[in-house]
Structures are given as structure tokens and as C-alpha cells.
Amino acid sequence: MKKIMIVDDETLVRIGIKSLVVWENYGYQVVGDAQNGEEAWEKIKESQPHIVLTDLKMSPGDGFELMERCRRAYPDIRFIVLSNYNDFENVRRAMKEGASDYIFKLTVKADELLKILDEVSSRLPDKEEKNSRGHHSAENRRAIKDSLIRQALSEEPVLLSNIWERLKRLSLEVDMSKVYFVISIRIDNYRVIRRQGDFLEKDLLVFAMTNMMEEIFKKDLKAEIFHESDSRFLILVEDQTRARKAVEKAFDLLVQSSRQYYGLGISGAVSTTGRGFSWLKKGWMENCLTLEGRFYSVSGKISWYQEKEWRKMELPDSLRTVVFGNLLERLDFLQAEAYVRELLEHMERMEYHPREVRRKLSRLHSLMILYLERHELQTAEICDSRGVELDTLAEEYDFFQELKRSELELIRACREVFQHGEPELGKHGQLLRQVKQYAEMNLAQELTVSKAAALSNMSESHFSHIFKSEEGVSYMEYINACRIQKATVLLENTDLMISEIAEKVGIENPNYFSAQYKKRTGKSPSEFRKMLEDRKTQNLETVQTAGDLR
């Protein structure tokens, strides 16, 4: 396992490179990072990395000074320069002074960086690597503490003493005998994003998000990060001077990083303070209530706990469920849509408890499903523009505005299905062929449901329904399959780098491209190419053997 250190005064650059890939899968371990040469020098003395990725313009201690110090004390360390496009003269000087290579830090691709690292690693002197065992223990420590924290949030108080003792033995950054508060971080609309399939593998997501949180929150705070569940993370922070301001600053940076690198929205909640292990679950429960209370807000915000009183849901007679049922009975979908719009506006104005809102909407969905099935129409294929179906819609979205948009899409989709009926789906075949042809010719472009719906002159929800009914898969699933198919052709018939192939099929992040390719084909792009090379070698050997026999 080759050890890497990242040195750059831009936090997002360090976070981005650390989270670019699961480094251990490629034989590398990020043993530290620093924001300037002085900090890097102290960490290098402690961890002695094999390779240092460094910026040149930093203070105190720039990249040139760091290289000079290491040349005298640790001559085996190799340097790769993190460069900007306008930094050619400094890069040339660094190469003359012993840097092994350089890479443009703002457009760095995983495939490109790994290739450079492999080339530099091949020139390293052979030495016994002493710290691989320590790395595994660090990974084990993370898994153990995540498991313990989940138990602590679910077990009865009488069973917590053993968990508390085991956590203390892990030497956490936060002393829970002192005053601390609990922060919850949620990936917003996680189930909807997972349903679309345009997402990182779960393990890679957890790895990347945990790394980002550790980089950001531990910079100015005494903090400990835990992975609580698929979409949620827990952070314990000691309540020191100016800690609250530092939390808000760190959260804003985390919002920016998660959007920039992964296209994810996040929300946060902070509990009141307490001390002792027993406070952990109480603080977490406060955060659960706070996140639930953000139902009428938007993504990207952090909220401090305050007790909230919800109005009891009291609807006027015109919005009773039986009224909606009568409209469906008469197949009066124009009035049914007006009913849904009025109901949603009333709910938003009164800000009823999210659970009551979801229960009310679920009852409406049950009626819609009942009338669809009564007319022998397929309910499972009616979905909104993001692929969410009637029977799960009420629970999928974290924010009211998104739920409202989806509800209106679905009532229109129901109206169109009742008007057209399932037998008429085939008449859309020509339109769908045109949409598919356009997509296949423009895979490098951004392809969305809204664009496809506009091309076919349908609403997004109706297009999604028609496409899935005709093709058997959602539109985005079809696009992803086309991208993988084209990538296979390019891998087989060109010498393009994997990052270039990813761009040509419309996937900007080569790491995500590799993960999706392996998920769909069973092999990573590099493994697929190696298999092709092995086949060519075998065929060549067979031909040569046949020639020798003649």
C-alpha cells in the first residue's frame, strides 16, 4: 500500500482528491493532508508518505521549500505538482527541481491521476511497507464505532452501559463527559435519487461523505463522525468557544462540496447541549424532530433545535376525501386536479404536521389506484417525472414543495391514462423511436426526462408512463444502458483513455462511470480492456503455434 499526502491551501481541492476514488482499492492510502508547506512538513515527519501531491503557491511554506526540505531529509519521497493552467513557469521550475509529474488540479480525473501515480510508484525504491496493518485497524475502528453508535440509538437504556464502555476504549475525539451537542446530516430525497439510479455506489458514497465531513468539521472543531444509516450521518461536537459559528461555517462548506462533487443536497440539524453517554440518544431524537420540522423549507440549510407546535389538521368540507372520490367516480379529472391543487395550497398555508399530510395524500392515492384498477388500467406504471409511483409517493420526498409538484404531475398522468387508455399506448411508438434516435446520437449531451417529453410533445409524467409501458424500463434506465453499450464499443475499438470515454458517453465523473460500468457488466472498464488484451495475446500465441506446426 503506497502512502499519499495531499498539500493545498484550497479545502475543496483536498476534499475532492481525497474523495475521488476509494484509494485502497488501487493500492494507495491517503495518510494525511495539509493546507501549507509548514503543516505538511510536520505531518511528513510523522507519516513519511511515498508520494506527495502538492500545490506550489502556499504560505507559510510553499511547495518549492517543501520539496527542498524533503530532498535533504527524505530523498525517496516523490512529488506530483497540483497545478493551475496559468502556472506553467512554476511547474517547469518544479520539474527541474525534482518533481516527478504534474496534474491540473481543477479538472483532475481519477483515471488520469491513477495513471500518473502508478507511473511514479513504479520508480519508487522497494521498501517494506510498515503501516498497512495500521490502515486496516483504522478502517476496522471506523466500522466498529459506526456499529456501536447504531446500537446506542436503538437499544433500551439498560443495555447501553456495555456500548458506552466499548466506545470509550476507541478513544473518541469528543470527550462525552464534557458538554457536547449532536449534529445530524441527511442526504435529501435519498430514496428518490436511489430510485433514479444516477448515483454513487453505497459504499463509495459513505466513504466520500465521511471523508468530507472529517476534513471539514475536524479542522476547527473537536468532532467525531459516524455513519448512522443509508442517508444519515451523526457528528458529535464539544461545545467550545465559538463552536456554533464554526458548525455553521463547516456545514455551508459541506453543502458546497456535496453539490459540487456529487450533485447531492443535504440538510442538517443541531441538538441542544448535554453531557454523558445518555445524552447521545436524546440529542439525536431532537434532531429527528428538527429535520421533520423542515418539511416546508428547502435543502441546504442547518437548523438548531426548537420545540415546534403543529396545527391539528382541520379541512373544510370541500376538501374531504369523499369529495375527491366522487370526482373520480364521475371521471371528472379537471375538477380532481383543481381539488388536489386547492388541498396542497391549504396544507402549505396551514403547515400541518408532515405525518398528517402524508396520511391524507396516501388516502387519495389509494382511491386513485382503486379507480384505475376498476377500469383495468395498470397503476404501477403511473409515475412522476423522477420515476416515483403512486403507492410510495407520499413517503418519498423530504420537502413539501417537491411533493406538491409530484402530486400535480401524477393527477395529470392519471387523467391522461383515463383519456387515452392502455390499448392506445402503441400509437406513441413513432414518437418514442424519434426520442430514442435523438438520445442515441447525443449521448455526450445532458439527456433529461424534461427534454425527451418536450421532443414528444407530452408532459413529463405522461412521457415517463408511456416510455416505461412501451420499453419496459424508465427513460433514464434506457439512457444509462445506451451509455454503457457505447462505452463498450469505444473500449473495444479505440485507445481513448477511460476518462475520455466517460466524457463521450455523457458521464463527467470517471469514477462514477467506472462504478456504473462494473455494476452493469460485472467488470470495470480497465478489467474489460485487460480481458480483451489477454484474448488478443492468446489468439496471437495460437496463430504462432499453428505456424510452427506447419
Measured CA to CA, the distance from residue 66 to residue 366 in angstroms comes to 66
Assess whether 515 and 366 both reside in one domain.
no
Select from 414, 416, 408, 415 the least CA-distant residue to 345.
408
Q: Which residues of 169-199 are buried (b: 16+ CB within 10 A; e: fewer)?
A: eeeeeeebeeebbbbbbbbbbbebbebbeeb
- The verdict on residue 371 lying in a domain is yes
Q: Domain boundary residue among 255, 280, 304?
A: 304
What pLDDT, on the 0 to 100 scale, is given for residue 156?
Answer: 62
- The verdict on residue 253 lying in a domain is yes
Please identify every stretch of the chain with a pLDDT value under 50, giving residue numbers as ranges.
Answer: 128-136, 422-426, 543, 549-550
Q: Domain boundary residue among 130, 160, 181?
A: 130
Measured CA to CA, the distance from residue 16 to residue 23 in angstroms comes to 13
Q: Could you tell me the end-to-end alpha-carbon distance of the chain, in angstroms, rounded to an integer?
A: 48
- Angle between helix axes 460-471 and 429-441 (nearest 10 degrees) is 90
The CA-atom distances, in angstroms, between 474 and each of 192, 389, 446, 449, 463 are 14, 12, 16, 10, 10
Contacts of residue 367, defined as CB under 8 A and 6 or more positions apart, other chains included, come to: 321, 324, 325, 328
The CATH number linked to 190 is 3.30.70.270
The CA-atom distances, in angstroms, between 484 and each of 78, 261, 346, 386 are 36, 22, 46, 21
Assess whether 275 and 375 both reside in one domain.
no
What pLDDT, on the 0 to 100 scale, is given for residue 251?
Answer: 96
- The verdict on residue 7 lying in a domain is yes
Virtual torsion, Cα 65, 71, 74, 79, nearest 10 deg: 70
- The verdict on residue 330 lying in a domain is yes
* Number of independent structural domains in the chain: 4
**Residue 233 forms beta bridges with which residues?**
185, 227
Tell me phi and psi for residue 50, to 5 degrees. Answer: -80, -40
Measured CA to CA, the distance from residue 174 to residue 235 in angstroms comes to 10
Measured CA to CA, the distance from residue 31 to residue 132 in angstroms comes to 11
Q: Domain boundary residue among 249, 274, 304?
A: 304
What pLDDT, on the 0 to 100 scale, is given for residue 130?
Answer: 44
- CB atoms under 10 Å from CB of 497, counted, come to 15
- The verdict on residue 467 lying in a domain is no
What pLDDT, on the 0 to 100 scale, is given for residue 429?
Answer: 64
What pLDDT, on the 0 to 100 scale, is given for residue 539?
Answer: 64
- The verdict on residue 437 lying in a domain is no
Q: Which residues of 211-221 are buried (b: 16+ CB within 10 A; e: fewer)?
A: bbbbbbbbeeb
Assess whether 332 and 291 both reside in one domain.
no
What pLDDT, on the 0 to 100 scale, is given for residue 380?
Answer: 66
Assess whether 148 and 297 both reside in one domain.
yes
What pLDDT, on the 0 to 100 scale, is given for residue 132?
Answer: 42
Residue 524's domain spans which residues? 480-537
- The verdict on residue 549 lying in a domain is no
Burial of 246 (0-12, 13-18, 19+ CB in 10 A): middle
Measured CA to CA, the distance from residue 522 to residue 520 in angstroms comes to 6
Whole-prediction pTM: 0.61
What pLDDT, on the 0 to 100 scale, is given for residue 179?
Answer: 95
> For 389, which DSSP code?
B
Assess whether 120 and 182 both reside in one domain.
no
